Copies of this chain bind each other. A is one copy, B any other.
């Protein structure tokens, strides 16, 4: 069958890997090992490989494994970026994904090639990677208002004050403690870890929580936003 034009489209996958560092959202970049832009920091990504990948989501999982040495607890398709201008090799599509990981999963001593840069400090990047990162950050911030998404940026266990700080970092505003806890109750996704308390601080020890088992692979949504705006 005749599919001539389509054969001239380059098909790639890029992953925006996000984590919190010092209370602000960072994206993981890698130095490219081949042209175009060899040696330049860019999003982890590469060609879709039909003989290896069942689908583009599979390809994204492979990129993270091969390039950042990790498996992300949260990975979602973001959008597809396309056109003549974005890649010097020719007309291309990049199916972009975003991943959220807790800080301890991105152990930079084990992944010396990965560089974390703050998402809110603009910098030049190859291709349209700056635009892709901006779209991912907007998606994460907008979903944070209504869902359990930020929990994927925490480690396996966290106190409610720690979790509130994560939501506040993403939303860029302070949240009321009482209404934050009410929203978390409404989401009904957390469970206390019996016998595990945060100690060694001046305040009363805080209970450690974790995601309930049924929610580790899916988002939970609130009816109303957390944000006051």
Contacts and interface: CB of A to CB of B under 8 A. Distances in A.
Nearest to A52: B5
B5 A51 contact: yes
Interface string A1-34: 1010111111110000000000000000000000
A219 to B, nearest CB: 12
Nearest to A12: B6
Contacts of A229: 223
Given A55-B82, A55-B83, A95-B80, A5 B89 contact: no
Interface stretch (A42-50, A110-118, A183-191, A200-208): A42-50
Given A6-B48, A48-B91, A82-B95, 15 more contacts: A1-B36, A3-B47, A5-B50, A6-B12, A9-B9, A9-B11, A50-B91, A54-B84, A56-B82, A56-B93, A77-B79, A77-B80, A80-B80, A80-B95, A93-B93
